[in-house]
Every structure is written in C-alpha cells, then in structure tokens.
Amino acid sequence: MVFFTIEVDQRVATIILNRPPANALATVVLKELSTVLDELEKNDDVRVLLLRGEGKFFSAGADIKEFTTIQTSEGFSKLAKTGQQLFDRIENFSKPIIAVIHGAALGGGLELAMSCHIRIAGENAKLGLPELQLGIIPGFAGTQRLPRLVGNPKAAEMMFTSDPISGKEAAAVGLVNKVFSEESLFEEAAKIANKIAAKSPNSLKATIELLQFSKSQSFEQGVNREAELFGEVFITADAKEGISAFLEKRVPDFKGR
C-alpha cells in the first residue's frame, strides 16, 4: 500500500490515510481505498472498520492539482463517478465503517466521511463543503448526502457560504454521531468499534442492508425485506448462541455462523 496502512486489533481494522500534507483524495487514492476494502471484506477476523487520517487532517478534500490535468466535461464527470461509486460501496459495505474525524474533513473528505455508517469527530474539527468558493460544486454525492443528514436549509447554508462547522455543531445538527476531545478521540472511537465488533456479523450485515432499504425503498418493501432477513438470521448458530447467552446470563461469543 502507498497511501493507506491497516492496523488490526482483535476484530477492529483501522484504515489510516497518509498522504501529506492534507490527505487529498486523488483518483489513485480512491482506487487504493477500494483495494483496501476488498482485502478487509474477505477477512472474516475483521468485523468493524475505523477510517481516519494521519497527521493534522482527516482529509482536506479532493486533489485540486488533479483538476488541472482534466480538460473536458466528460473527464470531470468520470472523476465524479469514480468517487460516487466508491462512496456508495462504503455506504453499502457489509461491515460497519466508522469515520473518525480530526482536524478537518472538507469537500471530498467530508463526502467520504458521510458515506460511512457512523461518524465521530473531535470537538474542534472542521467539517464543510467549500467547493462553491472555487466556482465548482461537490461531486462525490455531497449534494445528496448532506441534506439527508442535516436537512435542506442547513445543507444550503453550508454549501452556499462555504463555511465549515465545528465538530460540536456537526453533532448538534446530526452530521456526526458523537464528539470527543482531540486527546481522547481515537481512544473513544476504538471503544465504540469494539462494542460493535462484539455483535454477530450476521446481524450487522443484515442491519446495514435494511438501513439502506430505508433510504431508497418504500416502507412496505423495507418491512418485507426485514421479515425475510429476520427469518434468515434467526436460524443461524449466532442467534442460538445469543439467546442461550441471554438465558444463561453470560456474554455471547458470536462466531459469524
């Protein structure tokens, strides 16, 4: 790997983006992240992914220098599609992915974070979509995910003004799940990841699928799929273990079977 390192501790894999000085998301970075996801999806020992940046930033956005190498509308649309497809994969990934935001998540960096299932930020982190300040617009699905998370008025304000918001405000408007001090951010993120990693992989995968149904399908379609997955999950060995552990007043040991 050139831009990413992977650290595995028990059942949690931490993916660290390291592309100084600002962890910019060039096409080569997006392609490498896709390869990282391939590896971790096949690793049955990994149940939860933490995604963070090295240095001062989570990611300050897309690589502006790369923009100068593209000459056509079709070229820019292709770049947007590359990011959109990867971030859609992250949103639908079979294992929970938690974005741990320190320093700044701007432009493409925030779009990457928004595609993760959970977002945790430092109190003083800066989150925003400043593309209009450059005379362009977000291209990695930011115009679609941000309103779904914070509502249209707040999304409009953030994009129209290009002003970032702090981690504290991001939590208040629903853009991130939790905020912690910069000093405790990574430790607290690991605690949350470990708590999730103790759950059955079968239940986690099914819940991720149903969460996506709630965004794109009707309520009727969602509950029908819920009933199907309820039946499929209930006959697994993990379900039997979970119920037995509850009745026996002990901690369940899920094997992913």
Q: How far apart are CA 191 and CA 167, in angstroms?
A: 19
- Parallel/antiparallel/unpaired status of strands 4-9 and 12-17: antiparallel
Paired with 166 in beta bridges are 126
Q: Which of 7, 66, 131, 228 is catalytic?
A: 131
Task: Indicate if 66 belongs to the active site.
Answer: no
Q: How far apart are CA 192 and CA 197, in angstroms?
A: 9
Residues in the chain: 257
* DSSP label at residue 218: -
- Parallel/antiparallel/unpaired status of strands 12-17 and 48-53: parallel
Q: Which of 39, 66, 111, 228 is catalytic?
A: 111
Residue 249 CA, chain-centre distance (Å), reads 34
Report whether 18 contacts 58 (CB < 8 A): no
Alpha helices in the chain (DSSP H): 27-42, 64-67, 73-91, 108-115, 142-150, 152-161, 167-172, 185-197, 201-216, 219-234, 237-247
* DSSP label at residue 4: E
Task: Indicate if 188 belongs to the active site.
Answer: no
Helix (H, G, I), strand (E, B) or coil at 59: strand
- Structure-token pair, residue 148: 């779904």
**Residues recognised as catalytic:** 111, 131
